[in-house]
Structure 1
């Protein structure tokens, strides 16, 4: 088990005073990079490795502290070209997040996966752990359906490979989710905004990365649609697309829980359910 102490920044906090859900994925990335840099697989970060998917389950909020959070990680699976990393994020010894990332060694010149070198596989196999899979969140492909939210890529969103960093997609998805849900139902206003009287807590978020995303001046679009309404929860599907061609770059599934201002789950309410039902996919 590799252990990384990840320092917090004041700017990591959201309007609720907790570390934003999207920032957690940045913590996972910092731990993953530290793990790779300390072993013979360090060169993968320079030659090419891409994130295939993230699964993130949020158990409790992370508050600001001068002390770092602890990220524990190990290898859940080692394949010919693909690996899976399992994580636990803890604050003050309490479990806050469980997550899993699939990565693939990749040749950017030829735009194809490549096999891991024997020394890379040996290093990863030394760190194999027993890690339970997270329950998959089912959601249909949107196929052009859903509310379309334009989003411009910033130059600062790019990583060392010249593509949008995998963690930044969580920020894009969050922006589209807030825009779409408050458009459908203004009472879903988020904490810190006018009319906000409930909290909307992200308890699970998965992203599948399909195509590398590059910078351009013209905005892309995110399609957002509810796919399931529960008693206290909403499951949303999101797709990052090129509005001109329909090309899908990434797909995401997010589970939101409605809570009162103390953080206790409460029923969605008839008004919110009625506002969202016409948009169900």
Structure 2
């Protein structure tokens, strides 16, 4: 499970977006880095989760959600829908944060990554994160305190774009869909566990490995097939730590559409239990028209075959 460390820090004022009719939002201006880009000169899909993390840490400081060495928040689930390509520039991108659900031992944040333009807001992505208070010294979830619930309440809004139900399927554990996840020292947070964002990166590495193998199996194919990520949904089950030996990840194609396909990846703990399960929707993409496109027929056949394998 990913971890978010919060410390109290006052902020000048709440920020209201004039185009928002759903309630109060906290808006964070997130600096961008040159290294955030991918080979299409768009911001890489993993980086969006980094922006979400920066925004929710700032939100936690703003409302006074404090953490100690033993108590903090863990990320139980994150999902993100990509709406428009975001490219690098030297000015920050805005991330709006609201609270869309509060329960006894968890709450859900909703996000929009956006810019304000003379023609109105441009939304690049919408997302949700489920967070739960956690006592690290005792390795257990705890309930929200009345004070924590009160600090969240001003930002509770009716969610016009609610978090979808997680759709995951079992992934067979076979050599052909295996990827070895090597945890780097920089993947680890202050509590000695893998940060939630790094799991998203592991999903990326695992699916690239599978796709590369599948496309190599297409006879005579030389040209490059472009794809973009449409959505990412990940559930965190257990926490991973750094070790010299890699963890196992397995990926399979579960669905194939006219111009898209769905992949599910399981990241496994040492005992074979699922530490995280991710579902990613990929869209075949024409870089010249900047639009989705059906894949070449030979590629479509190979992914259909992969989806049919149990």
Which TM bucket (shorter chain)?
over 0.9
Match of 1:236 in 2: 263
User: Which stretch of structure 1 is more off in the superposition, 9-18 or 43-52?
Assistant: 43-52
Indicate conservation of the 8 Å contact 1:62/1:91, yes or no: no
Q: CA RMSD in A?
A: 2.0
Distance 2:102 2:199 in 1: 25
Give me the TM-score of the superposition, normalised by structure 2: 0.84
Query: In the aligned structure 2, how far is the partner of 1:12 from the partner of 1:239?
Result: 25
Report the 3-state secondary structure (helix = DSSP H, G, I; strand = E; otherwise coil) of the residue aligned with 1:214.
coil
Match of 1:225 in 2: 252
Q: 1:54 to 1:45 in 2, by over 3 A?
A: farther
Q: Provide closer, same or farther for how the CA distance between residues 3 and 187 of structure 1 changes in structure 2, counting only shifts above 3 A.
A: farther
Q: SS of the counterpart of 2:104?
A: coil
Q: 1:99 to 1:5 in 2, by over 3 A?
A: same
Given that 1:31 and 1:71 are in contact with CA atoms closer than 8 Å, whether structure 2 keeps it comes out as: yes
CA distance in 2 between counterparts of 1:196 and 1:34 reads 44
What TM-score results when the alignment is normalised by the length of structure 1?
A: 0.92
The residue that corresponds to 1:82 in the other structure is: 106
Q: How many residues align?
A: 275
Say if 2:122 is the partner of 1:98.
no
> 5+ residue gaps in structure 2?
1-24
C-alpha separation in 2, matches of 1:112 and 1:196 = 51
Q: Distance in 2 between matches of 1:6 and 1:179?
A: 31
Given candidates 240, 261, 274, the residue that maps to 1:248 is: 274
Decide whether the 8 Å contact of 2:31 with 2:92 is kept in 1: yes
Q: 1:58 to 1:196 in 2, by over 3 A?
A: farther
Q: Distance between the aligned counterparts of 1:56 and 1:127, measured in 2? A: 20
Residue in 1 that maps onto 2:155: 127
**Shift of residue 42 of structure 1?**
2.5
Q: Is the Cα contact below 8 Å between 2:115 and 2:122 reproduced in 1?
A: yes
- Residue 66 of structure 2, aligned match among 19, 42, 45: 42
* Residue equivalent to 2:144: 116
Q: Deviation of residue 187 (structure 1)?
A: 8.6
Q: Is the 8 A contact 1:197 1:261 kept in 2?
A: no
Note the C-alpha offset of 1:147. 0.3
Aligned residue number for residue 150 of structure 1:
180
User: Is the 2:70–2:135 contact (alpha carbons within 8 Å) kept by the matching residues of 1?
Assistant: no
CA contact (8 A) 1:187 1:195 kept: no
Question: What is the alpha-carbon distance in structure 2 between the residues aligned to residue 102 and residue 51 of structure 1?
Answer: 6
Q: Secondary structure at the match of 1:32?
A: helix
Deviation by residue 1:81-101 (Cα, 9 ceiling, x = unmatched): 100000000134310000000
Structure with higher Rg: it is: 2
Residue 134 of structure 1: how far off its partner (Å): 3.7
Asked whether the 8 Å contact 2:168–2:277 carries over to 1, the reply is: no
In the TM superposition, 1:1-281 aligns within 5 A as: 1-43=25-67, 47-92=71-116, 93-131=121-159, 132-136=161-165, 138-144=167-173, 147-186=177-216, 195=222, 197-242=224-269, 245-262=271-288, 263-280=290-307, 281=310
